[in-house]
Structure 1
């Protein structure tokens, strides 16, 4: 039998890895010279390193959403169902507000809020609200809804959905909603496909309960993770259902392979979720009994994911402002009408090696603040700490 604390430790390790990799993608967005002018996943034009730099970060959002559901199940074991449900809905509402106010400002540095950007925190917030409601029905209701959304949402690829509400729920990527007064909402994350990952993460938490054995849990993770990867390969090979865009043969076998694994994140397709969550489950199984100094370091980030997430955006954008002026730009260049981020002209940026150096520096800088906040949260009991 494995203790609850060691089981949670494996989650913290994986979440820490996710948070570190996630920062690479946002560093690329802010600092790479072609981030705003070229698609890094275009198999016909990209380079292997650029493709990998973008593609590896695909694992972050689905794994993070899945682990959020898993953590919700573990936390619910210490509360009544009503208490757990109510907390999830409150936290979900807080995350939606945080996306609109705190994350948007960190991304844009625009205090006038001409643009609101709805991304993963927004999707997690709504998913928590849905989970909180379904929990009040039954565990089976959570499982059934999760499976239905997970395997069935790509049916909507064959229909034209009317109105922005349907797009935001199922298919949004870059859905622009005018608010009047030169203000817009950019919806990048469709809610319900991401909700499926959280609901199934919650159900997977059943194997992390106190009386679950390591052997049973690892068997579940290995079988389901392998099955998800196999399903991805089969569906992608058939090239019909499971992803809105089929793969095509490219000029070389390697570039054809790149196109094969380039599946839709916006919205997350069934192929995308299988490709990313399959290895996530295998990683959870492999990290069950991992010990060492590196595990302790990575766990620091995994224990305070929201704190780190917010902080890394503001640090990156602050560094961007410095680089902006050092590159010779002036106050007249702060606003680019083609980009929602201030201090980020379309043609600004550096090569990938410099992007990687900035990424590593940002992760290193945030280690001590993350460590401090993790210890602070362990030794203090203010109510608001539960929401960060």
Structure 2
């Protein structure tokens, strides 16, 4: 028999920030599938992009690092309620579960291919692997784990420039752990792995989040927490500005003066997500820390709206992918495509023929629709999680 217990207390600022980035994340995925030509173009390519398209993609750059960072914060909070051995078991099992979800549920949502000819390794995959690694290192002091995170974030750009003989074991390991940026691995003639997220740079972000989780332990002075978050945010942003102006270490894509001011700004902001460069981490995490500092005591309908999604991120993440793909199928037939066009040659994704979709402005309307459709399911599940204690809820 399921028991109903008093509502669990959550940290408001974390749920608000996570809710904001989850909603922004959906914009990128709606654009992937419903922007005409979106799946076959690069919004960050200065030769072909427009300011509207670039900034639509740029705003979503903040999602993955903040999501991974907050996952690290959450691990620390879980550690305050479990023994070390319990925490190790939980992290390893949850990490394996997340890898399974990425390879099966998310990969299918992307491709809609029941034969699983392609697997996509994205943010859920890297969170799962990072949790396993954190579980293996959890006996270390928190500050040591945080220091390892900083070392990975700051130093991995050196390794990114390394080269080894192609198609060797060393080459595969270097890509998987450090340099993957949409890298294709062929399992056989008909099955591929599409690796977007190199493991260790993102693991560094989770380790850093684990360190910052100590700011939220019981008894920590809220004023001191806010001050530390603001100083950290300002420091990271200043480091980003300095590194970007110098145009040296910290990102493999230097900026340059362009044909006009707008495109020069775009070039300056066109930092590398795959793998996440030092500059990329500095800019995105600085904004995340600022939001955490400023939303700790806010209230009102807007904050409650964001908290609804932020309190059930995994539930929302799975649902939004499947909702987007259902919409894609409906649009496919409404726009007059035939069943013979479900499969596009040399494209692992079904229901994505050339010409499918809409202008970017219409994509924003679909994005708002996806958010609103999922509001009440997320609100229901958020309430359910707060008032129930089944073991499986900790995996969702």
1:172 aligns with 2:180: yes
Measured against aligned partners, the alpha-carbon deviations of 1:189-221 in whole angstroms (never above 9, x if no partner) come to 101111111000000011111110111101110
SS in structure 2 at match of 1:177: strand
* Cα distance in 2 for residues equivalent to 1:204 and 1:317: 36
- Tell me which of 367, 373, 379 is aligned to 1:359: 367
Quickly say closer, same or farther: Cα 1:94–1:6, change in 2 above 3 A: closer
Give yes or no for contact 1:59–1:276 (8 Å, CA) kept in 2.
yes
Aligned to 2:198: 190
* Cα distance in 1 for residues equivalent to 2:345 and 2:274: 23
Aligned to 1:242: 250
* Cα distance in 2 for residues equivalent to 1:13 and 1:270: 25
Please report how far the alpha carbon of residue 157 of structure 1 lies from its aligned counterpart in structure 2 after TM superposition: 3.0
Q: Give the alignment of 1:141-220 within 5 angstroms.
A: 141-161=144-164, 162-180=170-188, 182-220=190-228
* Cα distance in 1 for residues equivalent to 2:80 and 2:15: 18
1:228 aligns with 2:231: no
* Cα distance in 1 for residues equivalent to 2:11 and 2:149: 23
Identify the range of structure 1 (113-122 vs 45-54) with the bigger mean alpha-carbon deviation. 45-54
* Cα distance in 1 for residues equivalent to 2:293 and 2:210: 16
Aligned to 1:19: 22
Give yes or no for contact 2:142–2:210 (8 Å, CA) kept in 1.
no
What residue ranges of structure 2 are gaps of 5+ in the alignment? 1-7, 165-169
SS in structure 2 at match of 1:267: coil
* Cα distance in 1 for residues equivalent to 2:37 and 2:108: 23
TM-score, normalisation: structure 1: 0.96
Q: Give the alignment of 1:114-133 within 5 angstroms.
A: 114-133=117-136
Measured against aligned partners, the alpha-carbon deviations of 1:63-86 in whole angstroms (never above 9, x if no partner) come to 000000001111111111221222
What residue ranges of structure 1 are gaps of 5+ in the alignment? none
* Cα distance in 1 for residues equivalent to 2:284 and 2:178: 19
TM-score, normalisation: structure 2: 0.94
SS in structure 2 at match of 1:289: coil
* Cα distance in 2 for residues equivalent to 1:275 and 1:380: 38
Aligned to 2:346: 338
Measured against aligned partners, the alpha-carbon deviations of 1:137-193 in whole angstroms (never above 9, x if no partner) come to 222331221111011000113311442121010010121111125111111110111
SS in structure 2 at match of 1:316: helix
Quickly say closer, same or farther: Cα 1:6–1:78, change in 2 above 3 A: closer
* Cα distance in 2 for residues equivalent to 1:94 and 1:153: 27
1:74 aligns with 2:77: yes
1:92 aligns with 2:95: yes
Give the CA RMSD over aligned residues: 1.3
Aligned to 1:306: 314
Identify the range of structure 1 (351-360 vs 248-257) with the bigger mean alpha-carbon deviation. 248-257
* Cα distance in 2 for residues equivalent to 1:163 and 1:29: 29
Aligned to 1:374: 382
- Counting matched residue pairs gives 384
Q: Give the alignment of 1:99-110 within 5 angstroms.
A: 99-110=102-113
- Tell me which of 274, 281, 296 is aligned to 1:273: 281
Please report how far the alpha carbon of residue 6 of structure 1 lies from its aligned counterpart in structure 2 after TM superposition: 7.2
* Cα distance in 2 for residues equivalent to 1:270 and 1:119: 19
1:383 aligns with 2:386: no
Identify the range of structure 1 (160-169 vs 295-304) with the bigger mean alpha-carbon deviation. 160-169
1:35 aligns with 2:38: yes
Please report how far the alpha carbon of residue 131 of structure 1 lies from its aligned counterpart in structure 2 after TM superposition: 1.1
Please report how far the alpha carbon of residue 340 of structure 1 lies from its aligned counterpart in structure 2 after TM superposition: 2.2
Provide runs of 4+ in structure 1 moved above 4 Å. Answer: none
Give yes or no for contact 2:233–2:287 (8 Å, CA) kept in 1.
yes
Aligned to 2:304: 296
